[in-house]
Amino acid sequence: MFGRARSPVVRKDHSACSGCSLCLLVCPVWRQTRDPRLTPEGRAKALQHGAPARELAASVAACRLCGACEPVCPEDIDLVGMTLGLRAHLADPALVTALHGRMKEIASQPLRVLDAKIAFLPGPALREKPQVMARITALTGAVPSTDDGVDIEEALQSGIPIPRERLERFLGHLRAAQEVVVEDGQWMRPLREWLPKARLTSLGAALGNLDAVRRSLRKTDLYVIEPRAYHSDYERLVGHYDRLRTERGCAFNLDLQRIAIPPAAQADWILKGLRVERVVVERQEDAEAFVAHGAYPVVHLAELADH
Ligand code: SF4
Ligand code: SF4
């Protein structure tokens, strides 16, 4: 038996696509390539016309899973789920076998339940920053998970089913937590299904709600929002960022698709035309492009209270 992530709301499939192109306008891949075949509309229309998954391989691989397309789709199509379903069809059997082998091995290792009311799921780049991690725990009370779930993340991004025993080990050690704070919004969608009683909070919201952090934001900061969490918790977070902008006056990467594009040109693109003195990131992974850009100091939101 396998556990699969599914959307908590009943969404439609590709057959409902009307071709309105709204998803195309917000898709970072469209913004980068101007190739309609690489967009969610392109995939939905191709499926409507009976295209087999193998013909959509390039399009499916190009998706950044940022989730920007879903909130704008007037037909409520499960666009991320559609892409993940295609990825599952296209997954290399050898890679699936290797990943499942790794998961089986991890599942066999004992792990004690995380004794914390608030659990924290950091990404790999943040785990490499113990001082920032310690700061996050000190500020929010959230205790980092001892199972990093990197293999589960890989399976989620590839649409690969997760063996039940692996999922049970991972979720079992989070079960005592009443709240789970996630650095990467990719976790929001599956965790809503897997831990329906837990409150899920993005790291940006958990830190941004603290006075010590908020009052350290300056008008001259560029605040880089983590787009996956934003798009998966849009109704709640739109008010959060609007309050932050009104209160602190800093600039935001409101054109959120841009952060979903990983090449080195990303920082140039986001910073173009902005007059800022510092870059503040919610996700450590996003810091790298701005550090490489080199024009401004880059700090994690958790470090703000010290600045
Ligand atoms: S998830 Fe992001 S990258 Fe993928 S199709 Fe939707 S908007 Fe485009
Ligand atoms: S927004 Fe929805 S209905 Fe419109 S083109 Fe995209 S997938 Fe189709």
62 and 106 housed in the same domain? no
CB atoms within 10 A of CB 110: 5
User: How far is it, in rounded angstroms, from Cα 268 to Cα 289?
Assistant: 9
Q: Which ligand is nearest to the CA of 15?
A: 2
Q: What is the mean pLDDT of residues 184-200?
A: 93
Question: Looking at the predicted structure, is the pLDDT value of residue 231 above 70?
Answer: yes
Domain total in the chain = 3
48 and 36 housed in the same domain? yes
**210 within some domain:** no
Q: Which structural domain, as residue segments, surrounds residue 253? A: 216-306
Instruction: Output the CA 77–ligand 2 centroid distance in Å.
Output: 7
Question: Looking at the predicted structure, is the pLDDT value of residue 121 above 70?
Answer: yes
b/e code 156-189 from CB counts within 10 Å (16+ = b)? bebbbbbbeebbebbbebbeebebbbbbbbbbbb
60 and 10 housed in the same domain? yes
Instruction: Output the CA 182–ligand 2 centroid distance in Å.
Output: 29
Question: Looking at the predicted structure, is the pLDDT value of residue 307 above 80?
Answer: no
pLDDT at 7: 44
192 and 235 housed in the same domain? no
Question: Looking at the predicted structure, is the pLDDT value of residue 85 above 50?
Answer: yes
Instruction: Output the CA 58–ligand 1 centroid distance in Å.
Output: 13
Boundary (domain end) residue, out of 90, 105, 130? 90
**121 within some domain:** yes
Q: Which of 195-204, 221-230, 239-248, 255-264 has the lowest mean pLDDT?
A: 255-264
**63 within some domain:** yes
pTM of the entire predicted model: 0.87
- The mean pLDDT value of the chain amounts to 89
Boundary (domain end) residue, out of 44, 74, 90? 90
99 and 180 housed in the same domain? yes
109 and 175 housed in the same domain? yes
Question: Looking at the predicted structure, is the pLDDT value of residue 122 above 80?
Answer: yes
